[in-house]
Structure 1
Amino acid sequence: MGTTDPDPAALAATAEEVATEAAGLVRDARESMLAGRTVAVDTKSSRTDVVTAVDTESERLIRARLAALRPGDVVLGEEEGTGGDTGGAGTPGRVEWVVDPIDGTVNFLYGLPAFAVSVAAQIDGVSVAGAVVEPVAGRTWTATRGGGARLDGRALTTSAPEALETTLLATGFAYRAERRARQAELIAGMLGRVRDIRRSGSAALDLCGVAAGWTDAYVEHGLSHWDWAAAALIAEEAGAVVSL
């Protein structure tokens, strides 16, 4: 059985450390791509749902660092599923790491800067610490349950719009056509009721934007566990009401 230190501050420090290291790998890969290097690309749930070799490299680096820093902990990653000492998975009080090696892979592939590495520590299915690191912007978002949320060390507080019609709403869309159609119908119904709508292409960064007050709310149906595990905690600790 792995290490089960429940101290959120220690877990947050680990999340930030490994996410920062992975962000460096992703940043270097992006610079190589911009200089002309080609990167292997595959698809997952649909032709528009892509995964690059850099996603896999980033996740494997995170897994290796967590194995060294937190031996035996369970790791759930977007690209390679569950790893670590899974024999004790589900044990009460045990730490599970939830990893998105590049949240916003399509942005990364196209050269857009809005993508991030997301690492969260969960205990009994609840996020207790997390870090979201942006390879291009260099921003680091962190949170501990009960300890607040921070952007580069600065405490975060959400906005407080006066009404729905003055709310700047962020959203995102899935890659499966049938789900995307339902999401588009929902957002179309909201367009006349809110101030405006934003879509960055990264659920993690959209949630962090809510934490910073850069947008007032975020809604998306059908997110995966790794999309929100760290960033939803950051938003919640900044004062957002989170419903999963």
Structure 2
Amino acid sequence: MNRRNFLSLTGTFTGGLLVLPDFLHALGTQPSQNQKDSCVVFLQLNGGNDGLNTYIPFDHLGYYDLRPHIAIAKNDIVGKNNGMGWHPALKNWNTIQQNGDLTVIQNVGYPSPNRSHFRSQEIWQTASGAQEYLTEGWLGRYLDLQCTTTQPTGGVNIDSIDNLALRGKEPNSITVKDPARFRSHAAGEASQLSTNPQLDFVRKIASSVVEGADDIRRAIAASQTEVSYPTTALGKNLEWIARLIKGNLHTHVYYT
């Protein structure tokens, strides 16, 4: 079964309906007008997480038998449905799920894992096979298809380092830590072609950064913070993403 067929069959039963984000339905297809005006925000959580106490399989006998001291009491579980439910601290996630805006795909892995955290992350960021090594990310490939011409802010990564998932053949994404302080130096003859393809590629990226910086500054200037965000690094990143969306940056993918 190929990935597209797999994604068409998976999802979470919410309110009796099989819910799958429109973004996944749109992959590899010509976008509708509504899809052209929409964006998706990816939040990557680094570090350890107890998945069994996040989205809890409370109907599985092994859950309570094997977790006598850390299992969540059934009465405390939120949004119980089809044997699954949320940790009580995640009641708002349950609300998002019930509204049809959250899908949980469980038991994701790959055959014969080598137990490397870094290799596993590389696999899910590139959507490669276990024995396949790719240099472009799955979102980068999506942007290569989605953008008919190079679009420097087709994807925006709010971080201090580039993300493999957004890497494509064309510079259709940009990484920025603080949009308010983002500045770029003039690229000069960045767009001029030469007889050196490597030099042309570097010039193309430099030109893309300049153009992307200008677009980001305009979007920030055209927006303001409308709600209160937590005073954390993540809260600030989400605030920047909200302002770029409100400022009509027309970015397809935001990542942080």
Asked if Structure 1 and Structure 2 have the same fold, meaning a TM-score greater than 0.5 normalized by the shorter chain, the answer is no
With CA pairs under 8 Å and 6+ residues apart, which has the higher RCO, 1 or 2? 1
Q: Would you tell me which structure has more strand in proportion to its own residues?
A: 1
Report the TM-score, using the length of structure 1 for normalisation: 0.30
TM (norm. structure 2) is 0.29
Specify the structure having the higher radius of gyration (Cα): 2
